[in-house]
Amino acid sequence: MLPEARRRHLLSYLARVGSATILDLSVRYHVSSMTIRRDLKKMQNEGLVTLTHGGAVFEGGAPARREIQRLTRDHIRADEKRAIGRHAAMCFVKDNDVLLLGAGSTVRAIVPFLNRKRNLLVVSNSLPTLELLRKTLSCATVIGTGGQLHADSSSLVGPVTERFFEDFFTRVAFISGAGLSLRAGLTDAQLLEASVKGAMIRSAEKTVVLLDSSKFATTAAAQVLAIDQIDTIVTDAGIAPQVHGMLLDMGIDLQVAPLPALS
């Protein structure tokens, strides 16, 4: 298990049980006590746990709660999100491209598949996405937007973020949302997030909505795009046939990403 993945498991486990000894954790994760101690020290520096004599306690403060929420979002419908990300990278990204990645775990799923492209310039307002881009795309140019940090989503929002897009233009913007319905279109739960996504859309030649099938027939508070403004949606094979048919009838380019075959 890679160190980052191990630390994610450690945090989830400590959040569930409250505390554990270093010896118990080293046995559980099949690594040395020194390795576990290094993991816990890093997590303590991030405000996620508190080291004790011989063990660690889950720190239930805001940083730890936000990290648990992010990990939970990333693992919900993970196979579907990977399929969407793979399809989006294959069908909409070219070598030498200029891309914009909005916030959210479904959009972030495209990142591992961008390493097959050359000489990319990628812009994002999402701190987790920027960090994943840093680790994954060593040869790409990566740009963060700046702006006010929205703690719950770890994304940058507000007037500074929106002004960034007045002078910056991309070929493709990949965005997501909290829900999509025929009445409300693409919606987001956060007003500031929705406003930034609107600025992203205006700065891009083409916008592709990445949405897992559980988000259809769902409406959140703030509209991002009216249904008749949406050109392209990539989703997974779980989309209901009735919804699939209605969106196609409206002229939307609806693309269904296949899940990889089980071996």
Strand order in the sheet with 121-124: 141-144, 121-124, 98-101, 170-175, 204-210, 232-236, 253-257
Please indicate whether the domains covering 3-72 and 77-257 agree at the CATH topology level.
no
Say whether pLDDT at 17 is over 90. Answer: no
One-letter amino acid at 147 equals: G
Give the tokens for residue 13.
């486990």
Q: Where are the domains of the chain?
A: 3-72, 77-257
* pLDDT tier for residue 197 given thresholds of 50, 70 and 90: very high
Instruction: Tell me the C-alpha distance between 94 and 88, whole Å.
Output: 11
- Average pLDDT for 58-75: 67
Q: With cut-offs at 50, 70 and 90, classify the pLDDT of residue 75.
A: low
pLDDT confidence of residue 48: 83
Amino acid at 14: L
| 165 pLDDT above the threshold of 60 | yes
Given a cut of 80, whether residue 206 has pLDDT beyond it is yes
pLDDT of residue 164: 96
Q: State yes or no: pLDDT of 263 exceeds 50.
A: no
Residue 246 or 138, more confident = 246
User: What pLDDT, on the 0 to 100 scale, is given for residue 94?
Assistant: 96
pLDDT at 255 > cutoff 80 = yes
Residues in the chain: 263
Q: Is 247 left (phi over 0), alpha (psi -120 to 50) or beta?
A: alpha
Of 105-109, 136-140, 145-149, give the lowest mean pLDDT range.
136-140
Interatomic CA distance for residues 233 and 84, integer angstroms: 10
Listed in sequence order, the residues at least 6 apart from 89 whose beta carbon sits closer than 8 Å to its beta carbon are 110, 113, 114, 116, 117
- Higher-confidence residue of 179 and 76: namely 179
Q: What is the CATH number of domain 3-72?
A: 1.10.10.10
Taking all residues of the chain, what is their mean pLDDT, rounded to a whole number?
90
Say yes or no to pLDDT of 192 above 80: yes
Domain covering 77-257 assigned CATH 3.40.50.1820 in the classification: no
pLDDT of residue 190 exceeding 80: yes
Q: Tens of pLDDT along 79-108?
A: 899 999 999 999 999 999 999 999 999 999
